[in-house]
């Protein structure tokens, strides 16, 4: 690094405030009141609490994806600004080298009795104003003229880079603000859900667990129905293929000289198998919002990491992952496909077959297998 370059402070995102904002506390307070603290109002039923908690977790999922998008934008902008500042530093080093060369030319002219105006030209803050004068041009050698041109080009380039860096820093600050707001939003939703659950008695919690089990059982039943339909479709396809083959005359056995050598690009099924194997290996790890592994994941962090293990780069958020690959119908799902949930596309899981998926569900839960019908399906894609 050039000796003139001053060390600069690394750009870091400001640490988000730990805890819950005043707005979050107000929200929690209102929820607590609605759960029975407010006099004269009936306490919500367990079913109502279940719906409200589910909705809060869904909102937290949406807020998590907003946070993920802000974090991704912040990381990209930080990298861009760091690169611009490095370019400015390197350009300044070259600029100073050129300035020193101009100074030596000016000193040489002074010793040989050159024109004073030419010396001024070499050392002026704005040499271009002098450079445009033809009579000064005649006083410069070819080497000196080229040095002056290099100086002007370098200085203009550095000025532009500095301006770009300043604008980049402004965008970085905006991204960091969005990041902090996103984190606070997630914290608010999760705190509200925890507070609402804390108002339940032991008997009500048992009732809530029973409702949850009933919901899971209904989802498993639908998964089994999907598995039966898929198996029937598979057998029908095999029967049709066999019938078609029976109509064709027998052919000579293949000699193994086909175009597939086994050393080319992995097939889509091979990539899906690798992604699925990675996802299975994460079962039991905790859900943590904003996490991308290796010890914890959120929903889109898990699917992104799984497909990366298969050599496929997916975007960070559910909103961008749903745009990747080929859309597929639910009945046509294959292992490795991504299934998205809710109208706002705030959750995603990886299909494993038989109507089941692996996903990172929600705070307090762990990566697990579950029916794809546990949540309302938005749509599905095949990444590769």
Residues designated as active site: 299, 347, 359
If one counts every other C-beta atom within 10 angstroms of the C-beta of residue 159, the result is 12
Q: What are phi and psi of 109, to 5 degrees?
A: -65, -35
Cα dihedral 217, 219, 223, 225 sign:
positive
Q: Is there a contact between 132 and 141 (Cβ–Cβ < 8 Å)? A: no
Interatomic CA distance for residues 317 and 287, integer angstroms:
15
If one counts every other C-beta atom within 10 angstroms of the C-beta of residue 215, the result is 16
Q: Is there a contact between 150 and 98 (Cβ–Cβ < 8 Å)? A: yes
- Secondary structure class of 287 (helix, strand, coil): strand
Strand order in 338-341's β-sheet? Answer: 326-328, 377-382, 338-341, 347-353, 356-359, 368-371
Torsion angle (degrees, nearest 10) of CA 27, 32, 38, 43: 130
Burial class (CB in 10 A: 0-12, 13-18, 19+), 252: exposed
DSSP label at residue 15: P
DSSP label at residue 330: G
Task: Write out the H or E segment, with its range, that includes residue 180.
Answer: helix 142-198
**CB hemisphere CA count around 39 (13 angstroms):** 0
Question: Tokens 């297998």 appear where?
Answer: 369
Cα dihedral 323, 327, 331, 332 sign:
negative
Q: Considering just the CA atoms, what is the radius of gyration of the chain in Å?
A: 32
């Amino acid at each position: 690094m050039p000796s003139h370059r001053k060390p600069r402070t690394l750009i870091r995102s400001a640490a988000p405030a730990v805890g819950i904002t005043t707005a979050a506390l107000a929200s929690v307070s209102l929820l607590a009141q609605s759960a029975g603290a407010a006099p004269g109002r009936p306490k919500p039923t367990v079913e109502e609490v279940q719906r409200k908690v589910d909705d809060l977790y869904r909102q937290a999922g949406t807020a998590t994806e907003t946070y993920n998008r802000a974090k991704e934008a912040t990381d990209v902008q930080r990298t861009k600004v760091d690169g611009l500042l490095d370019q400015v530093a390197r350009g300044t080093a070259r600029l100073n080298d050129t300035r020193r060369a101009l100074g030596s030319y000016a000193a040489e002219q002074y010793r040989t009795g050159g024109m004073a105006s030419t010396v001024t030209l070499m050392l002026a803050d704005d040499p271009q104003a002098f450079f445009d004068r033809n009579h000064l041009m005649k006083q410069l050698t070819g080497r000196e003229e080229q040095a002056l041109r290099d100086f002007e080009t370098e200085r203009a380039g550095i000025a532009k880079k500095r301006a770009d860096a300043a604008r980049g820093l402004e965008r970085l600050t905006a991204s960091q603000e969005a990041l902090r707001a996103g984190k606070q939003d997630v914290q608010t939703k999760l705190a509200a859900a925890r507070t609402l659950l804390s108002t339940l008695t032991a008997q009500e919690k048992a009732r809530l667990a029973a409702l949850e089990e009933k919901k899971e059982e209904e989802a498993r039943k639908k998964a089994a129905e999907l598995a039966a339909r898929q198996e029937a479709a598979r057998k029908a396809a095999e029967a049709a293929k066999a019938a078609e083959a029976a109509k064709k005359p027998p052919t000579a056995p293949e000699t193994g000289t086909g175009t597939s050598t086994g050393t080319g690009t992995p097939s889509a099924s091979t990539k899906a198998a690798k992604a699925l194997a990675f996802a299975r290996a994460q079962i039991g790890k905790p859900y943590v919002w904003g996490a991308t592994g290796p010890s914890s994941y959120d929903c889109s962090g898990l699917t992104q990491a799984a497909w990366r293990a298969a050599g496929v780069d997916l975007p960070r958020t559910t909103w961008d992952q749903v745009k990747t690959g080929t859309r597929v119908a639910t009945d046509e799902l294959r292992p490795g496909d991504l299934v998205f949930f809710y109208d706002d596309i705030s959750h995603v899981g990886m299909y494993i077959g038989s109507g089941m998926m692996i996903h990172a569900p929600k705070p307090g839960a762990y990566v697990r297998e579950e029916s794809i019908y546990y949540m309302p399906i938005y749509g599905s894609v095949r990444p590769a």
